[in-house]
Every structure is written in C-alpha cells, then in structure tokens.
Amino acid sequence: MKLLENRSIIITGASTGIGRAAALLFARHGARLVLNARNGERLDAVCAEVAAMGGEAQSVMGDIADAATHKACVAAAMDAYGALDGAFNNAAMVGPMAPLAEVAPADFVEFVRTNLCSAHLAVHAQVPAMLKSGGGALVFTSSFVGNSCGLPAMGAYATSKVGLSGIVKSLAADYAHMGIRANALLPGGTNTAMAGDAVQKEWAAGLHPLRCIAQPEEIAQAALFLLSDMASFVTGSNLWADGGASVTKVQAPW
C-alpha cells in the first residue's frame, strides 16, 4: 500500500541524513516531491535517486532561514503538481556547542532564526497553498533535546527546538477545522553527520534504552506516518521517536 500516492510533498534538508531517507521512502510511497537543501550537488544526487526509482522530484536550493526559499518550494509544488498536500520541515542546524552563558548572543539568535523562525516562514508559505488544495499535513523535526532533557552545551539548540511544540499546537488550534494537521517529530540520537564522530555516537547510544541510536530511515518512517492518512486523527502532538530516551534520566550503565 502506497501511503502518499500522488501527494505533493515538500522536504527541507533533503540532501543528507533524515531528509534524504525521507525523500527515498516517500517516493516509494508514491509522493511527488519538492526537495530543498543548501548543497545543490547533493540535492541533485538525491533527485537523481528518486528519478531512478521512477519517482518525481523538483529541486529548490536555498536556506530555510530565508522566506524566499519557502516561497520557491511552494511555487515549485504548485507549478509542477498543481497542489501542495504536505511538508516535512526537517532542516536544522546544530551549530557551535557551549554552556548557555558562553553562547554568543549572535550565535543564539542564529539558532533561533534557523531552527524556529524558519518554521514560521514555512507555515506562512505552506498553509495558504494547502488551504487552496483542500488541506494537508505539516511535520516539523524537533528533538528529544530540550523536550525531555537538557544536554551539556546544547542549550541554544534545545531552546530553538522546544518552540516547535508551541507552533504545532497553535496550528492545530487555528487550522484543524480547515483540514490541516500539524505535528512535531522528536527523534533521539540519529546516525547522521550532525550526530558527531564515532565516540559521540557511542555516548549517545547509552542514553537510549534500545542501546543504539536510530538510523535515518527509522525517523523517516515516523514522518511518513504523520504525513499519511494513518495519522488522520493526530494533530498538535509531539511524536517521540527516540528509542526510549525520554523515559530515562541518566546515561544507561551498559
């Protein structure tokens, strides 16, 4: 069963990691894609992978902190497919890590601008197009960091991610009756370049009762659920896909 058959879906941060995994998975489920990232070469490679599977993908280079990027993604969906049915707003930054009082004010603003303000820019561009298309689903990649625990030197990142929960709750209150669902996806540690080196990944694995970090494909599957009709009665929620990290308080002694 193809869960996104003929649905027009935007994916930001689609050139690597969770975004790339989502692009390939959604294409297998029949989605018609608009893929965004800053690295054009990697983005084109993912579009080529989708095409090789028999799927459709438009590429839009750009920074998610720029309103023009979101407008271009929506325009690409409407021009190519005539509708916008969903968006996986996945791109984010980890950036410089430091104890919160040592984070430069300009760096803190950059975290919030990239990870949180960009979500509103996405909403501003995507919701009107979805309303014209008869409704749709929005998914925002948040994090277990900040929502279930604080981690050393990640205060700015945590702050920027926690705000996404407020955005999806507000979207549910404002637009659920118009056919638009919005949810936050909260991954645990995931095997991407953002997770650091092998030592950092091993440390992160110890935070999870499953004793490992996720593969990008596992997080993409959770996003697929939220975008599909299988989640038709799910909106304004935080979906934990964190290997149980939210139910532990200290690093597991394994």
What pLDDT is recorded for position 150?
78
| Structural domains in the chain plus CATH codes | 8-246 (3.40.50.720)
Judge whether 181 and 231 are in contact, CB under 8 Å. yes
Judge whether 189 and 143 are in contact, CB under 8 Å. no
What pLDDT is recorded for position 96?
80
Task: Judge whether 157 counts as a catalytic residue.
Answer: yes
What pLDDT is recorded for position 254?
46
Q: What is the mean pLDDT of each run of 10 residues along the chain (254 residues)?
A: 96 96 98 97 97 97 98 98 98 88 94 96 98 97 82 88 96 98 90 69 72 88 98 97 77 49
What pLDDT is recorded for position 153?
85
For the chain, helix (H) and strand (E) counts, in that order, are 8, 7
Residues near 33 by beta carbon (within 8 Å), at least 6 away in sequence: 8, 9, 10, 11, 14, 23, 26, 27, 50, 55, 56, 57, 58
pTM: 0.93
What pLDDT is recorded for position 194?
66
Output the six-digit token pair for 88.
Answer: 């996986």
Distance CA 246, CA 74 (A): 34
* Catalytically annotated residue among 157, 175, 225, 240: 157
C-alpha distances in angstroms, 174 versus 64, 127, 168, 199, 221?
A: 23, 11, 10, 44, 27
Q: Identify the CA nearest to 80 among candidates 170, 4, 152, 9.
A: 9
